[in-house]
Amino acid sequence: MTVKERYGKVLEWFEKAMPVAETELHYSNPFQLLVAVILSAQCTDKRVNMITPPLFEAYPTPQALAEATTDEIFEYIKSCSYPNNKSKSLSGMAKKLVEDFGGEVPSDIDALMSLPGVGRKTANVILAVVFNQSTMAVDTHVFRVSERIGLTTNSKTPLATEKELVKHIPADIIPKAHHWLILHGRYVCKARRPDCLNCGLTSVCRYYSKK
């Protein structure tokens, strides 16, 4: 099977099996999504969605969050992973967002990555979800699933995976494809025990063919 054929079959299956695919993080505006994505690093979306309602109520705007101390922010997010570091990141992000961008979340990857706590993956999520740009955010699920299925070939880094996926996936569906791969990895192609019996991709999956 050629690379083009595999991508075609995988994307066709996802389009039929998961016509609606979107982030499971709860948010009402770009600022809230940015906060939620920063909190989601090495933390489940379920946990983040428990944390954010009272956090957003206390700090509904970048200006409000920028005025909070890291200790005050910590009290709202202490049940997530790495709360000390994330408190500092959220505080720094809000301050810079207010000072450099007038409180508006920028739509440029370099500008986003200038914000504390925002790496390439987080920036790509914001660009794809908020601005519908053709960016592929590679988290652990996307990295694992892409390699298992055979969409990537021995990619060693998230950036290499990103470049390979973007090269082969049509630009207009890249934002949705990002969610396809995440959700497939979260619920079917799990890290320790992939649920191959309930997967519709076994006929094209490189991992399954080697079992």
Beta strands (DSSP E) in 2-128 are none
In tens, the pLDDT along 17-58 reads: 999 999 999 999 999 999 999 999 889 999 999 999 999 999
Decide if 139 is catalytic: yes
What's the token pair of residue 158?
Answer: 């998230």
Check: pTM over 0.85? Answer yes or no.
yes
Exactly one of 86, 96, 139, 176 is catalytic; which is it? 139
How many whole angstroms separate alpha carbon 93 and alpha carbon 90? Answer: 5
**Cα–Cα separations (whole angstroms), residue 25 to 17, 48, 49, 174, 179:** 21, 7, 6, 19, 12
Supply the pLDDT for residue 153: 87
Query: Does residue 154 surpass a pLDDT of 90?
Result: no
Residue type, 108: D
Residues 6+ apart with CB under 8 A from 16: none
> What confidence score (pLDDT) does residue 197 get?
92
Q: Which of 100, 121, 172, 211 is catalytic?
A: 121
Question: For residue 179, what pLDDT band results from cuts at 50, 70 and 90?
Answer: very high
